[in-house]
């Protein structure tokens, strides 16, 4: 699980840098300032949670079960939270109306919160 977690962390971290650079240089002139702020929030939370995956993947004091739960919560959380924000922020550039998937953004946020709760419980048990 550690290896998979570390690989996913590096993929999400890499993508956060690439997506952030793309937004700063390619999207900035094409979307509104508020959409750009939303996009940056998605990138920021993706990077925060990629770093959390690196941390958890390198810790010995966390059970394998908790690591597996955190792995899935953060993986799906990034896809739902950041992915939906990227889609919604660039909605004006596509013919598809991404507002229909806007409901998954808070679900992704809830998954992030739950991953932190799992870690909290794991640390309290120690």
pLDDT in tens, 17-76: 999 999 988 888 888 889 899 999 999 999 999 999 999 999 998 999 999 999 999 999
- What is the pTM (predicted TM-score) of this model? 0.90
Rounded-to-integer distance, Cα 102 and Cα 91, Å: 11
> pLDDT tens, 81-113?
999 999 998 888 877 778 888 899 999 999 999
Q: According to the model, what pLDDT value does residue 100 have? A: 84
64 neighbors 2 (Cβ within 8 angstroms): no
Q: According to the model, what pLDDT value does residue 119 have? A: 96
Q: According to the model, what pLDDT value does residue 107 have? A: 97
């Amino acid at each position: 699980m550690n290896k998979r977690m570390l690989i996913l962390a590096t993929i999400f971290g890499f993508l956060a840098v690439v997506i952030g650079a793309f937004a700063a240089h390619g999207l900035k002139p094409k979307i509104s300032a508020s959409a750009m702020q939303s996009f940056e929030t998605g990138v920021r939370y993706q990077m925060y949670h990629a770093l959390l995956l690196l941390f958890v993947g390198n810790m010995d004091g966390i059970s394998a079960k908790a690591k597996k739960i955190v792995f899935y919560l953060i993986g799906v959380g990034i896809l739902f939270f950041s992915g939906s924000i990227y889609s919604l922020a660039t909605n004006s550039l596509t013919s598809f109306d991404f507002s229909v998937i806007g409901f998954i953004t808070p679900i992704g946020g809830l998954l992030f919160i739950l991953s932190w709760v799992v870690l909290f419980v794991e640390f309290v048990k120690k």
